[in-house]
Amino acid sequence: MARMTRPLTTPSVAQQEQEREREREREREREREQVPFPLPGAARDALEGLALGDAFGERWFRRFRAPEEAAAQIAARITPQESPWHWTDDTAMALALVRVLTFQDAVHQEDLALSFAATFLADSARGYGYGMHRLLPVLAERPEGWREQSRTLFEGQGSLGNGAAMRVAPLGAWFCEDLDEAVAQAAFSAEVTHAHPEGVAGAVAVAAAAAIAAAGRGSDAPSGAELLEQVLAVTPEGAVREGLRRAAALPPETPPTRAADLLGSGRRIRASDTVPFALWSAAGHLDDLADALWSTAAGLGDVDTTCAITGGVVAARTGVSGVPATWLTRREPLPDWVGAR
């Protein structure tokens, strides 16, 4: 009598995908276990919010929509339907900064220079500015020379742009239990690429706002003016601080388009004409990330960066779960090492 054998079964496509996802999760867990300083929840939320704001804001640039169309759709709160929403250098540099924190729990400037440079070389088409295209390839060869090299930009003045501010909200959330430390570490992170005092001041202001937002989780949000006054208290004197002073004096009912006209919305790509408006918008919507991003987008200008700053600060308090689910599915994913939302 012939021996009966059980026929072999081939896993279905769905089963194969489930097994691949389980293996990816095991790999993510192994990678997270190798990190000496796991990403705190508030810092992860700030990173997620920064990336969401960056990708959301990017959709309103001229290459996707004419300015008139963008303004009308923002006013009507018509969500961009295209997918995916790619993030830009704002998020790429934030990831490089956070990666250093997960290994060192502090900003070690030579290591940060190398992290920025490696991230740039891996994908230089993320919308980096002129200064970073000059600086980061040099730092890839000599990361120890970051101080002298960052000072050579812009005729020896160093960069006063918004690049150090755009990436720093997760750092503020990381050090939310010690505002002075958040301020100091933000300055260290800025100096690697932005030697001008205004570039540093922009990073300090954003990190302070994110630290205050994260520290206030579970309690009533301060008023917009109260938050801005707290940020003012730790921001160095200069154009950024003066812009924050004017932002704190604006009535909360000011239309965002008017606030952008008065404060600037990044059209000059400077910290001083970017940070005050982005933080004014964040401060007025600390408990509603979606509202904060719509308000910030209405100012147009350097809209991916203003939205990245606003998104990082507000999400440090709220997380990203309150935004429409389609926003999160459309946004380009972050690397696996960041972990689940």
Annotated binding site for Mg(2+): 88-90, 302, 304-305
- Residues belonging to the binding site are 88-90, 302, 304-305
Residue 242: count of CB within 10 angstroms of its CB: 14
Q: What angle do CA 80, 55, 111 make, to 5 degrees?
A: 175
Distance CA 150, CA 117 (A): 13
Distance of CA 268 to the CA centre of its chain: 19
- With H, G, I as helix, E, B as strand and everything else as coil, classify residue 161: strand
CA 285/CA 314 separation, integer angstroms: 7
Torsion over CA: 151, 152, 156, 158 (sign): negative
Contacts of 69 (CB under 8 A, 6+ apart): none
Local structure of 172: helix, strand or coil: helix
Evaluate whether 101 touches 116 at the Cβ level (below 8 Å): no
Helix (H, G, I), strand (E, B) or coil at 335: coil
Residue 179: both structure tokens together: 């505002």
